[in-house]
Each structure stands twice: as C-alpha cells, then as structure tokens.
Amino acid sequence: MVVMTRWLDPDEQRTWRAFLTASRALMETLDRELQRDAGMPHAYYEILVRLSETPERQLRMSELAEATGSSRSRLSHAAAQLEASGWIRREECPTDRRGQIAVLTDAGFAALAAAAPGHVEGVRRHLFDALSPAQVDQLRRISETLADHLTGS
Amino acid sequence: MVVMTRWLDPDEQRTWRAFLTASRALMETLDRELQRDAGMPHAYYEILVRLSETPERQLRMSELAEATGSSRSRLSHAAAQLEASGWIRREECPTDRRGQIAVLTDAGFAALAAAAPGHVEGVRRHLFDALSPAQVDQLRRISETLADHLTGS
DNA sequence: GCGGTTTGGTTGAGCGCTCAACCAAACCGG
DNA sequence: CCGGTTTGGTTGAGCGCTCAACCAAACCGC
C-alpha cells in the first residue's frame, strides 16, 4: 500500500516557515554586509577563515571543501576567484601528484583581518544579541543534532 | 574611542558553525530533492504554495514578494520563469494600473500537488524527525524571535 | 605489474540571484 | 492642478552555484 504523506500540522508549519524566514533573512543580511564592507561573499570569507586557522595557513582542496561544507566543484570555482584576487594561491602537493594545496596569501590574511571585526559584529547583532543564553544553548544542540542527522545519512 | 570587536567565545563559535552547517545542509538537501523530483527550485515551490493558499489562487506581485521573503527583482525573474513553464500567468491589476497579479494556473496547481508530498516528507525526515517535540518548540521560538529581530530593524 | 576502480580536482553550460538603473503610474503638498 | 516624490514592477549585467562530464594520478586485486 502506498504510504500516506505525513503532512505538517499547524504548529509544524509555523515552525518550518519561521525557520525558513529567519535563516534566510539572517544569511542574506550577513552576506550583504560582507559583500558591501569587504567585497566578498560569505562563502569566500569562510574559506579564508578555515585557511587562517591552520598552522601553515594552508589546506588540501578536498579538506577545505569538507571544512567549508562545499562541493569540490564549488570550491574549485571559488578558489579560481580567490586566486585571481590574490587572496590565495594553489600549490602542487608533494605527496600526491593529483593534489592541490590552497595557501592563504598575506594579502588574503589582510583582507580577512579587515573583514572579520565587522562580520563578527554582524553575527553578534543579528543572532546572539537577539537570543537568551538558554536559547543559544538550545540552538547549538538543535543545530548539532540536525547537522549530524543530515551529514550522517 | 573605537569600540573593540566583541569576538565570539568558543561556545558561540561552536553554535554559529553548527547553525551554519545545519541550515545550509538542510536547505541544500531539500532544494536538491525538489529539483530532482519536481524540476523546480525551492524558491519557486514556495511561490506556488503561497499562491495556492489564497482563495482565488492569486496575489499581487508585491504581496507575493513580501510573503515569500523575496526581493521584487527576484520575484520578477522567478515569475518570468514560472510563466514560461505555464505554472502562473500575470494579469493587469484593475485598481492600480502599475500593478500585476500573479495567478496560479491549473497546470501550476497540478505541479504543486505533484511536488508537495515528496517535499513535505523531506522536511519531516530531515528536520522534524531529528528533533524532540521540545526542540521543535524551541526552534519555533528562536526562529520567530530572530525573524522579528531581523525584519523589524 | 597490469587493468579496473576510486579519488582529487577542474571545467563549462545553464540557471537563479543581486544590484543598480530604469520606467510608468499614483500620490501629495503648495 | 502641477511638479516632485514614492510605489510597483521590470530589466540586464555580472556572479556564484549546480550538475554532469571529464582527466590524471593513485589504489587494489589477481
């Protein structure tokens, strides 16, 4: 027998729509701020952040894709742009001749340093300032659960 | 004096990254499913949903933009596509000669009816099934708070 | 080691979105 | 009324992303 659709009840509808509205508005706001103030989309900012957090400020393309939750293709296109901007450079990997290593340049680090305070302030204003400490904790648990559920299936 | 950046503490960082990962993964998954199974992006699906919920299955372009949390430009482009697909049509507004009214066609309603069960199932599987009832409630409050905070400033 | 598979990464076409510019109709103060 | 502003909507250029196809190097079983 064909399984009936488990439709959303009114409460679930409300939850789902509120989540859609909020997350979209949040991401669009932050993306716009970053684009305006630092000339880069949020996805590129994240790439620079991840690179800056490693000891050598470099990462294999595939690890970088994993870390930023991006497809290899997306990262490849992004890396081409970031390289054209002079913010990263790509080097050959000595241990795997297929591999490429993305390296954060000094200019890239400087761009990140310039962008970070404004962006962090935005995250604080638009997200953390609006929520109680308890809600922040709830949001962390919910997000971690969802992330596990989505990436682990 | 220049105000120092209020950096994120480790807990906040963890929350922010988990939220980023989860919301991105969720939206990408649902978008991909909808594209694969119904041949439309999630944004278009939402437009059809909003139209289908009005008594006459029609809405002014500006109201539709508002309802879907979209810019007028985005909606205009989307409407052009949806009209080309035969899922909506645009009519002149009798009371405001600047206005356009987006009308859901029968074909559009049928496309929506075909897409809805699979999509709702996806929302349930990827979101609600992963969370406890209490978490769903928390997520609703958090999202509503954030949405208010973002659109009310 | 040799052939098939898997992994790492790139490429290009196509598409949806943003941003800014634009136009026409409606509104509004003097 | 009449000129300036606001509102409703469209347009086109540019860009980031997806998807599928692709290539080369590495891995693996026999």
Which percentage of chain A shows pLDDT scores above 70?
A: 99
Instruction: Specify the pLDDT at position B2.
Output: 74
Question: Which pLDDT score, from 0 to 100, does residue A48 have?
Answer: 98
Q: Measured from the CB, is A153 under 7 Å from any atom of strand C?
A: no
Mean pLDDT confidence for B106-120: 98
- How far: A97 CA to D26 C1' (Å)? 9
Tell me, what's the pLDDT at A80?
A: 98
User: In the predicted model, is pLDDT for residue A1 greater than 80?
Assistant: no
Architecture of domain B24-151: Orthogonal Bundle (1.10)
Tokens standing for A52? 């800056």
Q: CB-based contact (8 Å) between B113 and chain A?
A: no
DSSP state letters, A93-147:
-SS-TT-EEEEE-HHHHHHHHHHHHHHHHHHHHHTGGGS-HHHHHHHHHHHHHHH
- Cβ-based contacts under 8 A for chains A and B: 152
Q: Could you read off the pLDDT of A11-65 as tens digits, one per residue?
A: 999 999 999 999 999 999 999 999 999 999 999 999 999 999 999 999 999 999 9
What's the confidence (pLDDT) of residue A43?
Answer: 98
Given a cut of 90, is residue B152 above it in pLDDT? no
pLDDT at B1 over 80: no
The residue that minimises its CA distance to C1' of D19 is A73
Mean pLDDT of B43-48: 98
Bases of strand D lying below 7 A from some protein CB: 7-13, 15-21, 24-27
Report d(CA A81, CA A74) in Å as an integer: 11
> pLDDT by residue (tens digit) across A125-144?
999 999 999 999 999 999 99
Give the chain B residue whose CA is nearest to the CA of A66.
B21
Contact between B72 and B61 (Cβ < 8 Å): yes
Closest CA to A41 of A91, A87, A73, A90: A87
* pLDDT above 60 for B55: yes
For the cut 80, the answer to whether the pLDDT of residue B45 exceeds it is: yes
Question: What does pLDDT average to over chain B?
Answer: 96
Tell if the CB–CB gap between A24 and B69 is shorter than 8 Å: yes
> How far is A54 from B141, CA to CA, in rounded Å?
37
Specify the CATH number for A26-151; select among 1.10.10.10, 3.30.1490.190, 1.10.3720.10, 3.40.1180.10: 1.10.10.10
- Domain borders along chain A are 26-151
Q: What integer is the mean pLDDT of B49-74? A: 98
Of A8, A25, A141, the CB nearest to B123: A8
In this complex, the nucleotide whose C1' atom is nearest to the CA atom of residue B44 is C16
The CA distance from A113 to A120, in Å, is: 11
Nucleotide nearest to A93 (CA to C1'): C8
Nearest CB neighbour to B21, from listed A69, A117, A131: A69
Closest CB to B23: pick one of A23, A120, A138: A23
pLDDT bucket at A119, cuts 50 / 70 / 90: very high
Are A142 and B131 in contact (CB < 8 Å)? yes
Residues 6+ positions from A123 with CB-CB distance below 8 Å: A30, B8, B16
Mean pLDDT for B15-33 is 98
Contact assignment for B22 to A144 by CB distance below 8 Å = yes
Reply yes or no on whether the pLDDT at B153 is more than 60: no
pLDDT reading at A81 higher than 60: yes
Chain A contact for B114 (CB, 8 A cutoff):
no
How high is the pLDDT of residue B5? 81
pLDDT band at A145; cut points 50, 70, 90: very high
